[in-house]
Chains A and B, each alone.
Chain A
Amino acid sequence: MKIKPQHIAGQALAYTAFAVVIAYFSASPSYIHHPPDAALLKLSLTHAGQRVDDCKERTAEELAKVAPNMRTKQSCGRERNAVTLEMDIDGKPVYRHTAKPAGLSGDGRSRFYDSREIPAGRHVIRARMRDGNNPDVFDYDSEIVVDLKPRQVFVVDFDEEDKKLSFK
């Protein structure tokens, strides 16, 4: 199949236009995801609330009723408390969420995720979390003063080993 001479210029033009469209939209126009002078504050943690019911010691009679391989001394309910998490920046509340525990039996972890831009500079960040049965008390409460740089990612998490809210 021969290409007619009058089509050669047309094809050159068409292929150039095709290439320009591909080249341009493969990397243009630019997009600003976060302003270059802002920092990013991420709150991300998964935490299992305390059990709703306290563990009970089983009596000898109760132990005899269960199968031999399941005769543990304590009987513990599976359900856990919902976890409430709050965060303030420079004294202003910016986040408040109560997350139910995961799982059909409500025995899993509660999950939190938040990502927000924050002007670079000095800020007071306070986070508090309730995972127990008392609705009037926050079981964990921490505060930090940070000097955030432009584009810095600052993460609020929970350190399960040390059992405290962490800032890094």
Chain B
Amino acid sequence: MSNPIKTALRNGLFRVESGWDALVGRESNPMYCLGAMSWYFFWIVGASGLYLFIPYDTSAARAWDSIQYISTEQWYWGGMIRSLHRYASDAMVLTMMLHLLREWLIDRYHGVRWFAWFTGVPLIWMVFASGVTGYWLVWDELAQYLAVGTAEWLDWLGIFGQSIARNFLNREALTDRFFTLLIFIHIAVPLFLLFAMWVHILRINRANTNPPRPLVIGATLMLVALSLIYPAQSHPPADLDKATSVLNPDWFFMGLYPLYDTKGPAVAWAVAVGASIFLSLMPWMAFRRKRRKPAQVSPPNCNGCGVCTFDCPFGAVVMRPRQDESGHQKIAVVQPDLCTSCGMCMASCNRTNPFLPSQKHETGIDIPDFSFDLMVKRISARTHGLVGEGRVMVLGCEHGSVLDHLKGPSVGVLALHCTGMLPPSLIDYILNKDLADGVLVTACRPGECFYRLGPEWTELRLAGQRVPKLRGAVPRDRVRLSWAASTETKALAADLAAFRAALADLPKPERPETTKRRVAE
């Protein structure tokens, strides 16, 4: 990342997330699942909206009264549902915009991720269109302001046969039919939004659309409490014969309207469309990004087990029928356009095992830029010459902490594309061949993986809960997993020191002569 402002912002983000982790606990930190939080708020908005449709009167004369009735006479239920509808919408905008900002800061918007980013831009328009049409339905002074402003804004395009703003010239001009159209739009746009949200995550394997349970419970309680303590209120009823004056807009949805008021429709359109085009094209403006070669399947070594397809975070590996003489029914096939070269597929392959007898460490699916053979050789080279007590090999992610700062006479380091590309058998190999006394695996914190799922898969594999598992015979006190963001190199160094101290207290393992250090080069 060459942009110093962006680097500073990203470091700031990681520090905020660390602080938030300490405050609320990692599983209750919404920063790691902002997209999923937006989904959750969408469901709340949808469910509360369905309820509000029942008492709502779709007429210009009675729309305001019907909303006011449930807000005042039924404040404990109807009013609360109305407030939930509003506040969940606001929360959705907030989490959506934070999600956008965070994905940009963590650089997760270009390369194969262009699709999710590109399809995310129309979602912003749809969310705002859903919100603004919802505010129209209340038909109070704020609705009047929005209706007239939006109509004038659209009329400027000159593509509509009739002037929309003339519908709001005076009381007589407005008809109940217009409200029927409005509610149709307010239901249709969110339905399109839901479809577009599905498209948005289409190319993401195991997309997270459900936040962790603690967050769901906490966010729901927070919204309900807010709805009861500070219920949503209407402005006075709309009166098209009276100009709107002092308003209390919902700034989550209406930030662009004052720009229209002061600078006119041309500037407002230029800002809205210009920003959308700029956002849409951002994946292709990430210049000087070197795209790595996609993973490659080695047919003689692929037994068609399919584990790589489960582990790929982007669904880039699929199983296809196989008709050669191998005896296997299926073979893994890489879709290059979807592959990020993270190497998680390589780690998941049961052929990615340094103990297998082979001149060259071959595997079923490999990363051309950083093959498994190269990985084994580098580990051998970097552990060669380690001296002293507590020799440690640190294996981590190139996007996480700066591993070179940890290098020393007793410490070797190797940065991988992603920690998820580390096969557990390699840890076994390092200890078994006496290449080091301990292995420190460091990964970005879950949710901060540049690729996706690398830290999660690593943790489960080392804990023996996901294949390929770290063999049970591997001494766990000689393996340590340490989460560390790129800003946490010092904390990682402290963790390394503590690990080495702990290793020094362990009894020397007795090894048969045949398994003593054997450098693989």
Contacts and interface: CB of A to CB of B under 8 A. Distances in A.
A46 B91 CA distance: 42
Contacts, number: 121
A14 B25 contact: no
B446 to A, nearest CB: 14
Q: Is the interface of B mostly helix, strand, loop or mixed?
A: helix
Interface string A87-111: 0000000000000001000000001
A82 interface: no
A14 B246 contact: no
B240 interface: yes
Given A30-B246, A32-B246, A152-B241, A3 B169 contact: no
Contact of B250 (A15, A26, A39): A26
Interface string B161-201: 11101100110000000000000000000000000000000
B170 A155 contact: yes
Contacts of A23: 87, 226, 230
Interface string A2-21: 01100100110111001101
Contact of B258 (A18, A31, A46, A111): A31
Contacts of A113: 152, 155, 163, 165
Contact of B242 (A13, A46, A102, A152): A152
A115 B240 CA distance: 13
A61 to B, nearest CB: 38
A42 interface: yes
A157 interface: yes
Interface in A50-88: none
A134 interface: no
Given A3-B28, A7-B24, A15-B218, A32 B245 contact: yes
A92 B242 CA distance: 25
Contacts of A4: 25
A54 B422 CA distance: 85
B251 interface: yes
A26 B134 CA distance: 14
A19 B224 CA distance: 10
Contacts of A31: 246-249, 258
Interface in B150-166: 152, 155, 158, 161-163, 165-166
B24 A10 contact: yes
B236 to A, nearest CB: 11
B148 to A, nearest CB: 8
Interface string B19-58: 0101111011000000000000000000000000000000
9 contacts: A26-B232, A30-B246, A31-B249, A32-B247, A44-B169, A46-B162, A102-B161, A151-B242, A152-B241
